[in-house]
Amino acid sequence: MPYGDILLHTGDFTELGLPSEVKKFNDWLGNLPYEYKIVIAGNHELTFDKEFMADLVKQDYYRFPSVSKLKPEDFDNVQSLLTNSIYLQDSEVTVKGFRIYGAPWLALFSCILSLRAFKSAASGFVRLKGKETAYREDRLRKIQKLILLADLGP
């Protein structure tokens, strides 16, 4: 890849978010010629969503057999494995004068209601909860003057 000031990777850098996959992606990032590397999770990074994983470990693992080998401590803070980048999850950073807000959310039918990417897609069905909608609307109000919004979906 050619040199650049900022690389913005907006999700789906693993198959399931396994620690080994995150480490491999982190190693790849470390070799890229960018001054800043900013990453958000996508719906494939299952282990980045602690709430989803807590529900998953209580269920049958037929959909995600590789996850069944994980212990809670294996994915407790998997984001910390991204040492070669700035990881954003409902947070922002200012880089080279640009305010960048990153969130693992997908727009729902191109309307204002949204869900976190990994929660809705990984579970196989859309779950709307009032608290998620309220949380999303609160975040939108806080980021109205951003220069760049990094999101998984369009």
Give residue limits of the domains in the chain: 6-150
Q: Structure tokens of 21? A: 């996959």
Strands 98-103 and 148-151: parallel
Q: Which residue has the tokens 């990153």?
A: 102
Reported as a single tens digit per residue, the pLDDT across 100-143 is: 888 887 655 444 334 444 444 443 333 344 445 555 566 666 65
pLDDT at site 62: 56
Contact assessment for residue 78 and residue 22, using Cβ atoms and an 8 Å cutoff: yes
pLDDT at site 32: 95
Reported as a single tens digit per residue, the pLDDT across 36-56 is: 999 999 888 888 888 778 777
Q: Which of 42, 34, 28, 25 is nearest to 7 (CA)?
A: 34
Mean pLDDT of 68-87: 86
pLDDT at site 16: 83
116-132: b (≥16 Cβ within 10 Å) or e: bbbbbbbbeeeeeeeeb
Reported as a single tens digit per residue, the pLDDT across 88-98 is: 988 889 999 88
Question: Which CATH superfamily is 6-150 part of?
Answer: Metallo-dependent phosphatases (3.60.21.10)
Reported as a single tens digit per residue, the pLDDT across 7-28 is: 999 889 998 888 999 999 999 9
pLDDT at site 114: 40
pLDDT at site 5: 93
Residue 30 has pLDDT above 80, yes or no: yes
pLDDT at site 74: 76
Q: How far apart are CA 117 and CA 77, in angstroms?
A: 18
More confident residue, 124 or 29: 29
pLDDT at site 111: 40
Q: What single string gives the DSSP state of each residue in the chain?
A: ---EEEEEEES--SSS--HHHHHHHHHHHHTS-EEEEEEE--TT-GGG-HHHHHHHTTS--TT-GGGGG--HHHHTTGGGG-TTSEE-SSEEEEETTEEEEEE-EEESTTSS-EEEHHHHHHHTS----HHHHHHHHHHHHHTTT-SEEEES--
